[in-house]
Amino acid sequence: MDTTEHTTSVSSSSQQHQHRERVTLLVSSVTAAVFLTLVGLGIAAGRTKLTFVVLFGFAAMFAGVGISYVGEFDTANQQVWAYGLSSGAMIASAAALLAPKAITRHAAYGGFAIAFGYLLGYAAHELGHLVTHRNLPLNAAAGELTIHALAAGAIMGVVYGSLPGLSALFGFGILAHKFPAGFTGSEALQQSGLPRYAMIVPASAVAVAAIPLSILTPSLSPIVQAVFFGISTGVFAHVGIDMLPECGHAGSHADAGGHGSVQCSPEADQTRRHAVLSTFVGAGALFALWQTLAML
């Protein structure tokens, strides 16, 4: 390749990068405007509890982005604790806050819905990669986070719309993974050469689905409620299990590109102990929070 061809190639690559950044800025700006509009709509419609939960998820994700921006978060133990705490909390919330509501409304439909929801979470994880092969203003990691957030928001919106008496802890349990998702998505964007503010898209996706559906969803029959609670149980159990930190071998999550995969040396037995302990602490923390709120 001569000098002219090389210069032309570099110039073309630079123009493509600038175009992608402009598109990312536009998409992020529009998403921010939609998010603020929906927050106002949720408050005006009396969905204050759901709106508060949505804002919590948004803040938690950007707290993770902030950690990614100001500090290093790349040691094995740090990654293990971040994912272990989140996965433990998510699995506990799915088992304690979602599954009983599915089973008590209709045991068989609720049970089948839990199985279907788990498989649906697996399908979304695997097939979501097909979308991310395209040249979009988000990279693969942020695209997957957006898909998961839309699913979480849809389930929360339908459930809160039908049963507005649900506790805020229900929503917090669903959004337990937002903090680690924030810093991993932020790091992935940075490595792809995209600005970190693009994380506003997955951070806003919960509100985009949850608030309109909470307003539009009518009262649901017990069987339909069992199905929705069951699907949400399965989906978030899958996400929680997918985030379980793995160490020392290429397990199923590592093969699938799971967020919780941590490559450690075979001698790092201490890291394995941290991995196990972090998941129990995460589940225990959710139990302690639930117990505290139950006594109020």
Structural contact between residues 222 and 102, judged by C-beta atoms closer than 8 angstroms: no
pLDDT score of 259 more than 60: no
pLDDT score of 92 more than 80: yes
Across the chain, the runs of DSSP E, i.e. the strands, are 246-247, 261-262
Would you place residue 86 in the very low, low, confident or very high pLDDT band (cuts 50, 70, 90)?
confident
Model pLDDT, residue 256:
37
Mean pLDDT of 96-111: 92
Closest CA to 177 of 187, 185, 167, 165: 185
pLDDT score of 178 more than 60: yes
Structural contact between residues 98 and 238, judged by C-beta atoms closer than 8 angstroms: no
Model pLDDT, residue 251:
35
CA distance 235 to 116: 8
Model pLDDT, residue 192:
74
pLDDT score of 47 more than 60: yes
Structural contact between residues 46 and 238, judged by C-beta atoms closer than 8 angstroms: no
Partners of 246 in beta bridges? 261
Tokens 């490595």 -> residue: 191
Model pLDDT, residue 249:
40
Instruction: State the average pLDDT for the chain.
Output: 79
pLDDT score of 9 more than 60: no
Residue scoring higher pLDDT (198 or 74)? 198
Residue scoring higher pLDDT (128 or 193)? 193
Closest CA to 85 of 93, 95, 74, 96: 93
- Torsion angle, alpha carbons of 85, 89, 91, 95, to 10: 160
Would you place residue 73 in the very low, low, confident or very high pLDDT band (cuts 50, 70, 90)?
low
Q: pLDDT tens digits for 104-145?
A: 999 999 999 999 999 988 887 777 666 555 666 666 667 777
pLDDT score of 258 more than 50: no
Model pLDDT, residue 85:
83
Strands 261-262 and 246-247: parallel
Model pLDDT, residue 274:
87
The pTM for the full model equals 0.74
Number of H helices, E strands in the chain: 12, 2
- For residue 235, give every residue at least 6 positions away whose Cβ sits within 8 Å of its Cβ, in sequence order, or none: 117, 118, 120, 121, 124, 151, 152, 155
pLDDT score of 288 more than 80: yes
Would you place residue 84 in the very low, low, confident or very high pLDDT band (cuts 50, 70, 90)?
confident
Model pLDDT, residue 253:
39
Residue scoring higher pLDDT (141 or 47)? 47
CA atoms within 13 A on the CB side of 231: 14
Domain ranges (residues) in the chain? 3-295
Angle at 149 between CA 143 and CA 152, to 5 degrees: 150
Give the chain's end-to-end CA distance (angstroms, integer): 73
pLDDT score of 212 more than 90: yes
